[in-house]
Amino acid sequence: MDHLVQSFRVAFEYKVYFTSGLFDVSNILLRRFLEEKRGDQTEQKILFVIDRGVLEAHPGLQQDIITYFDNFPLVKLAAAFVVIPGGEAAKNDPAFFDQIVEAVHRYGIDRHSYIAAIGGGAVLDVAGYASAVSHRGIRHIRIPTTVLSQNDSGIGVKNGINHGGKKNFLGTFAPPAAVFNDDHFLTTLDQRNWRSGIAEAIKVALIKDGAFFEWIEKHTGALCGRDPVVMNELIRRCAILHLQHISGGDPFELGSSRPLDFGHWSAHKLEQLTGFSLLHGEAVALGIALDTVYSTLCGYLPAEKEERIIGVLSALGFAITHPLLQPENAGSPVLAGLQEFREHLGGRLTIMLLTDIGQGLEVHSMDPSLLMEAAQKLKTYRC
């Protein structure tokens, strides 16, 4: 057969910075980054997309950004900010994606310029998607403002929006130009959002690093007490594990294996079934609890390890059971999440279970009767 073959590699590199007070004029971190990336002749612009909830918690933020760029005129600040709601509302309504794309057009944001998103994971997702598809790729700076986005979604390579009732149905794999984790934004989080992101740290510890899980186990009191030093350490360690995974061979998830989605098949479905009244981390904690008990019932995980995991989730204030996580039969709505998860992965169903704390095992089917038993067992826990 006569044919041509094209083969090439594209190297991606981005840095995740840790700082406090990113837009304080005395903080040169962002300034230095933009100076290093500046071209010789092309004018560069920067458009900010900001989570409305962040602005409500930090009412002086817009003026701080204006002042910062007044003191650093080499990159031109777009004439207006794009402000969109946080949470899944940002990803459920395509109008917010359109709003960002329209601002790209209006303010002449080209491929040499930047879209900088400030907010939780949902806002970063929709802004990242708009960045990836506008002009086939505009440089995207992420400034995550929640525990969840600083230790997980905000430092990864995925972007997307929800569509047709399915989470992240539309999206891209597009690495950011840089990520700036500013711990100042964490100080105004309510307790639910402070706690929510810890679920992703538990998840990655359970499948990759038993010592990290033990560290979380020892620091549950400090984490609940909002100790900033302890939280910064959790975020950094969790970020390291996520970044190591991304660089480990399948960053764009071309295969069917997604170990970092331990506990997520039911979590994604629960978010949808509750109308996204559950925060992502809260749903993930429920999914972790279910798949942990299921792992024990399958004979993979010792019972004492299950008890430790459920104990840590409970000590941090997570619910471990929910009425919608109680399947009555194989046709129960939550179990539809298995098929949707398989479709999202492509190929065959691949689910991560546990054989130990820090050790995962991939399986390709789940027994509905055992899932029902696991859900019932969770109702018996007295935490």
**CA separation for the pair 19, 93 (Å, rounded):** 32
Helices (H), 47-107: 52-57, 61-70, 89-92, 94-106
Is the domain spanning 15-188 CATH 3.40.50.1970? The answer is yes
Q: Please say whether the beta carbons of 66 and 73 come within 8 A.
A: no
User: Residue 23: left (phi > 0), alpha (psi -120 to 50), or beta?
Assistant: alpha
**CA separation for the pair 17, 75 (Å, rounded):** 20
DSSP 5-63: ----------EEEEES-TTSTT--HHHHHHHHH--SSS-EEEEEEEEHHHHHH-TTHHH
User: pLDDT tens per residue, the chain (383 residues)?
Assistant: 789 988 878 777 889 999 999 999 999 999 999 988 886 667 899 999 999 999 999 999 999 999 999 998 889 999 999 999 998 888 989 999 999 999 999 999 999 999 999 999 999 999 999 999 999 999 999 999 999 999 988 888 889 988 887 778 899 988 999 999 999 999 999 999 999 999 999 999 999 999 999 999 999 999 999 999 999 999 999 999 988 877 666 555 554 446 568 888 889 889 888 988 999 999 999 999 999 999 999 999 999 999 999 999 999 999 999 998 888 777 788 887 778 777 766 667 888 999 999 999 999 889 999 999 999 999 998 75
Is the domain spanning 192-380 CATH 1.10.10.10? The answer is no
* Domain residue extents for the chain: 15-188, 192-380
